[in-house]
Structure 1
Amino acid sequence: MEKWMRFQARVKRDLRFWRGLQRTLKRVKSIARDSNNLICDDIQAAVEQWRNERAMTFEGRTVTYGELDAMANRYAHWAKGLNLRRGQVVALFMPNRLEYFAIWYGLSKVGVVTALINNQLTGLPLAHCLNISGAHHAIVDAETSPVFEQARPLLERKMQEWVLGQAHGDQRDLVQALKSCSQLPPDRSVREDMTAADTVLLIYTSGTTGLPKAARITHMRAQLMMRGFAGATGATSKDRVYVALPLYHATGGLCGVGAALLNGGSVVLRRRFSATHFWKEIVAEGCTMFVYIGELCRYLVNHEFDEDEIRHKVRLAFGNGLRPDVWPQLKQRFRVPEVLEFYGSTEGNVSLFNFDGREGAVGRVPKWLKKRFNIRLVQYDVETEEVVRGLDGLCVEAGPGQVGQCVGQIAAGDARSEFTGYLDKAASEKKVLHNVFERGDAWFATGDLLRTDADGYFYFVDRIGDTFRWKGENVSTNEVAERLLAFPGVEEANVYGVAVDGADGRAGMAALVVDGAFDAKAFSDHVRQELPAYAQPLFVRLLPAMETTGTFKIRKVDLVADGYDPGKVKGPLFFHDPKKGYVKITKSVWDKLQAGTVKI
């Protein structure tokens, strides 16, 4: 009986996976790099089918598909009026607002590329993103205009600033300029000879470890994301998708928007995420889906109870980066029936979907379909930061249970496995591994460490560079953080390696955000019980809040630079004494650490 039940469960799981895969493939199979059908044509087709249906709601205002298209057409004619030519770039530096999607959609109709600039950036990082975009025009609003002005002295060329709002000095009033622009679609001949291999967007990496890089998003790549999620989510014209993620990022701006608009559904757009307003707005707007980044869900489970969290009509949450400890809480506490976790990157050629809902897994490739997927795991040495190669010079594949770097085969002519790379060709080449399984082959190196199980499920382990080696063992910062988050009162945990004089490798350090008082003794007991000796953080610091990127990715670079030096670290700082547990680093403790009289 038990074997029969296991067999039934496996069949049910495989059917659910197969249906999800078929829905997705049905939507993306016709995408080809030499096609003259562009992403704007996909959106235009949706407009023609659902012209009078609601498309997007933002801060109390709702527009139909037809109204959204008319708005986009004005931007297309505005660009034509400036004599912007195919392939030229306009920088879009604004927070989420109703016009955001319409701007890049409209510019794509005349072949103009839009650089989606993170509206959280200031100073040098902002100037860097604007400089590498190659844009001579930038669209801003009242919120971002002052920030742009502050970065202007750092720009390498003159850039005309167009403001959706009050214009000052050399700024131009975009609202006024648009009044003379037609709402009718531009003639399709303006993008004649363009193909899906042409660039439509520049989307930047998060810059967690340095300055952002600009990834080239072709029409084909945008179609894969928007069509792929339109199929994977199973969304229909009755669905309303709540998007609180920034539209300058692919997860919210392409995957979330695509799931709704390519199916006749609608987007409920929020300026920025708020745990306080999240469920209230979802209930008020009748949302049936929401798109997430993992840390967004952690903020929700850490928030106090809200009666709206169980009064909603949400049937599906989809996104990436959902931690295994948050997953069951998302489903049980908030009564979300289904979670669709995916794995992928803006610029990469690897994508996975967890169609059958195995908690903790980022996706699955069953054995019977392995040859149809371009994804593999190769053994990786975290100490040398290189892939492991055999005597023949080729990479060694990681087996079930082994941790390896995720790589995706680059195949010419296959839209789903093409790697378009960054604007920086040198940065693009660094992401390509050659002679992986055969002489002359090429694979995209994701920079992520994953592992698989016997059933073909993939589990995220850590980012390369985050995993470090201590006492001869590999330590996954992601896995350590999960165990620290299980301690009562720890709301956020950021784990990283720091150099220690006279010691090989890097020692573990954790930055914590805690709710209330921090019980160092109880925390010491928890760490000893949950983690092997080599993985126990040697140092701990407490933070009032965790610094994150606009897409909720935790920044580590500044924390690593601070190390465990009390002269650089503000706030409580602890050292893991082998006998006493975690003790505060006072001047005397620091002196002993510096003198080497304390055993590490």
Structure 2
Amino acid sequence: MSVSTVVPREQTQKILDRRAPVATRYMASTPFTTTDRLEDCARQFGANVSLMEGDLRYTYAQFNARANQVARALHAKGVRKGDVVALSMENRSAFFFAWMGIAKTGAVAAFLNTHVSGKPLAHALEVTGARYAIVGEECMPRFAETEGIGEHLVYLHWPDAERPAADALRAGFGDDLQQLAAQEPSDNVPVEWREDLRAGDTAQYIFTSGTTGLPKAAVVSHARWLMAGDAMKLLWEIAPSDCFYCFLPLYHGAASMSATSTAMSAGASLVVRRKFSRSEFWSDVRRYQITCCQYVGEICRFLLSAPPQANDKEHSLRKMAGTGLTPEIWQQWVNRFGSQFRIYEGWGGTESNTNTVNVDNHVGSCGRVPFWEKTNLRLVRYDQEKGDYIRDENGFLQLAGVNEPGEALGMVIQHPEVVAGRFEGYTNVEATEKKILRNVFQQGDAWWSSGDLLRCDEHGYCWFVDRIGDTFRWKSENVSTMEVTDALVEFPGADAVTVYGVQVPGHDGRAGMAALVMLPGVAFDADGFWKLALERLPRYAAPLFVRLMDTPDMTGNYKLRKVDLQKQGFDASLVSDPLYIRDDRLKTYVPLSPQAMAEALRG
């Protein structure tokens, strides 16, 4: 089938209807959890390879045994049902053993971004209420440089052969959990440890950036994690013989929810890589006979930028799922690497209570809604200039028209037993309430506000348009402009700092740009700004562009006019102010030029 073939409306719905029974399989009171899924895998697929990392191989039986040992070691340290255990570790097999060991005690795992330190790290530990922290040796330096986080935590660490920590540093992170676990029995732990734990209870906290500054901890129940895997197994037609490539960070929902849960639902394999490598991608695919992988649009662009090879079409990869694949990159990908791909471009998020997925290879679309009455998704009219909804004469929101961009909303199912369609929210009650719109189409209804603009064409195909507000997405990461601003406002000599995302031709998402107003008589210190940005922010969040302005661009009520700044971007025909771009090789910001931009984007 051609990737541009439009599948008939009825056939598309049949594919989508495969996951309908999944919604009724896991009620809130269902006595089945993440742990039960792993133990079922050990019984049903015990001899199947579950995890591959380098030359290491672990069957499902071995995976389950390792998790049991970790659980016993944690239990001996005092971890009990309901406790929160923070997990800071890069992608490796040990992450899975620690994660599932936490689950087997009945505790909640809080996945920490391995790039953050300082205030964001302290915030993550505080909002999750973590009492214990499992820290991989590779992440120890970020904890060590963050003040005031050790007093209330019980630390355990996990060795890292690739990047071992110094003895003096390791001494501050408690016992060696790997060593403790190795001394424990490997049989299944007592079910009494998880007594009364149900599918609707919290399994994990996964951080997601919003528009309110520091990242929020999204609540993920056992049921949501299980449903994600069961639904994707059916939609992607995953079998035990399939093999997933896991290079996206496990602290995000894409890898830990979609990929891991889907693989375990089918008894399939996972190949774990620390991080994406353009040079090693296809050799890994061929070495491990990988059939499935997740992507973000940037990943595909990076792979296409490598020189063509004679064996580009000789590989086992057949199924890809992700977000941000533009029609142009999609078509280039298929032309170069083969027409056999099933590409499941989707829309949704870690905390979302609704989603769409492209099941019929329609290039560029993030999904199709043949019958709106069968989904809780709606698109409503939104005025981007005013930053507000367009309402009817009764004050209710209006549905967006055909091909009219509208904000995606998900109707909140308000039933104590139903998890599908429930908005599980965040650890912060106020942050949760801010994402719920009430009295949207009628009095008493409630809808989750996504902050994303989609449009839907006359055939029911949905297309991602943009992100509303002060969050932009770059290098597959959500970036909060407020968080970036907070990190940069203390730049010496700066009178005002405005941060926003700008579109870069040929690249998915938006790159960060900072408009600076310097105090009179103070020159812009390009080296100092680079140093401050890269010390305080992950690389993906540090502004790629800088604009030096005489005065901040404000509205009459003293709100920064970010919409205009975004529109102007770094277009020299629209901007007369000095423009700079980040040069990580020189560790500074240099005047913007075509050559400087090519160098920056090449990195």
Q: Structure 1-normalised TM-score?
A: 0.79
Paired residues of 1:51 and 1:65 also in contact (CA < 8 A): yes
Match of 1:527 in 2: none
- Deviation sequence 1:257-305 (CA, Å, 0-9, x none): 2222211210111111011111111111111111112221122122232
Distance 1:434 1:123 in 2: 36
2:553 equivalent among 479, 497, 500: 500
Indicate yes or no: 2:36 matched with 1:41. yes
Query: What's the offset of the Cα at 1:545?
Result: 6.4
Gaps of 5+ in 1: 1-7, 469-476, 513-519, 525-535, 548-568, 575-581, 585-600
- Contact 2:80 2:193 (8 Å CA) reproduced: no
After superposition, what is the alpha-carbon deviation per residue over 1:11-60, rounded to whole angstroms, capped at 9, x for unaligned?
x4435523431333344441211211112212321221110111110121
Contact 1:124 1:154 in 2 (8 A): no
Task: Please state whether the residue corresponding to 1:25 is helix, strand or coil.
Answer: coil
Would the alpha carbon gap of residues 207 and 442 (structure 1) be closer, same or farther in structure 2, given more than 3 Å must change? closer
Q: Structure 2: how far apart are the matches of 1:430 and 1:491? A: 28
Preserved contact between residue 228 and residue 262 of structure 2 (Cα < 8 Å): no
Paired residues of 1:494 and 1:511 also in contact (CA < 8 A): no
The whole-number CA distance in structure 2 between the counterparts of 1:491 and 1:39 is: 34
Q: Are 2:591 and 1:572 aligned?
A: yes
Task: Provide the rounded CA distance (Å) in 2 between the counterparts of 1:150 and 1:497.
Answer: 26
Matches of 2:568 and 2:132, distance apart in 1: 43
Letter in 2 for 1:461: V
| Preserved contact between residue 105 and residue 194 of structure 2 (Cα < 8 Å) | yes
**Hey, what's the Cα distance between the residues in 2 that align with 1:17 and 1:240?**
26
Counterpart of 1:200? Answer: 203
Supply the AA of the counterpart residue of 1:82.
K
State the secondary structure of the residue aligned to 2:420: helix
Return the alpha-carbon distance in structure 2 between the equivalents of residues 460 and 247 of structure 1.
Answer: 25
The answer as to 2:184 corresponding to 1:216 is no
Q: Which residue of 2 aligns with 1:419?
A: 423
Deviates more, 1:192-201 or 1:79-88: 79-88
Q: CA deviation at 1:86?
A: 1.4
Establish whether residue 116 from structure 1 lines up as the match of residue 111 from structure 2: yes
Residue 34 of structure 1 aligns to a residue in which SS? coil
- One-letter amino acid of the counterpart of residue 447, structure 1: G
Q: What is the CA–CA distance in structure 2 between the aligned matches of 1:74 and 1:259, rounded to whole Å?
A: 24
Supply the AA of the counterpart residue of 1:132. V
The counterpart of 1:342, out of the listed 337, 341, 346, is 346
Measure how far apart 1:106 and its partner are. Answer: 2.2
Choose the corresponding residue for 2:193, options 190, 194, 198: 190
Task: Find the aligned partners of 2:361 and 2:462 in 1 and give their Cα distance.
Answer: 12
Is 2:142 the counterpart of 1:125?
no
Which piece of structure 1 moves more, 497-506 or 286-295? 497-506
CA separation of 1:106/1:429 partners in 2, compared to 1, >3 Å: closer, same or farther? same
Q: Which one of 150, 158, 164 corresponds to residue 158 of structure 2?
A: 164
Deviation at 1:415, TM superposition (A): 1.9
User: Which of 453, 457, 476 matches 1:453?
Assistant: 457
Mapped pair 1:481 → 2:483 = no
Contact 2:63–2:97 under 8 Å retained in 1: yes
Distance in 2 of aligned mates of 1:538 and 1:259: 51
2:83 aligns with one of 85, 88, 111: 88
Write out aligned runs for 1:342-361 (5 A): 342-361=346-365
Hey, what's the Cα distance between the residues in 1 that align with 2:429 and 2:390? 25
5 Å matches for 1:436-585? 436-465=440-469, 481=503, 484-485=505-506, 494=511, 500=553, 506-508=564-566, 541=579, 543=581, 570-573=589-592
Q: Give the distance between the partners of 1:20 and 1:537, measured in 2 at CA.
A: 49
Note if contact 1:239-1:289 (Cα within 8 Å) is conserved in structure 2: yes
Distance in 1 between residues matched to 2:434 and 2:584, nearest whole Å: 30
| SS, match of residue 503 in structure 2 | helix
Distance 1:261 1:202 in 2: 20
Consecutive unaligned residues of structure 2, counting only runs of 5 or more, are 160-166, 473-499, 516-551, 597-603
Q: How does 1:238-387 map to 2 (within 5 A)?
A: 238-335=241-338, 336-366=340-370, 369-387=371-389
Provide the alpha-carbon RMSD of the alignment.
Answer: 3.1
Structure 1 residue matching 2:228: 3-state secondary structure: helix
Match of 1:594 in 2: none
Decide whether the 8 Å contact of 1:511 with 1:541 is kept in 2: no
Q: Deviations over 1:337-381 (max 9, x none)?
A: 220111111011011111111111111111xx2111000011112
Shift >6 Å, 4+ stretches: 490-493, 495-498, 501-504, 536-540
Q: Secondary structure at the match of 2:266?
A: coil
Letter in 2 for 1:111: G
TM-score relative to the length of structure 2: 0.78
> CA contact under 8 A between 2:91 and 2:250: conserved in structure 1?
yes
2:148 is matched by which residue type in structure 1? L
Secondary structure, aligned partner of 2:262: helix
Equivalent position amino acid for 1:449 in 2: L
Give CA deviations for 1:412-458 in whole Å, capped at 9, x if unaligned.
23322000100011010000000011101000000101111111111
- Once residues 45 and 218 of structure 1 are traced to their aligned partners in structure 2, the CA distance between those partners, rounded to angstroms, is 19
Tell me, what secondary structure is at the counterpart of 2:20? helix
Bigger shift: residues 207-216 or 280-289: 207-216
Contact 2:344–2:357 under 8 Å retained in 1: yes
Answer yes or no: is the 8 Å Cα contact 1:507–1:537 preserved in 2.
Answer: no
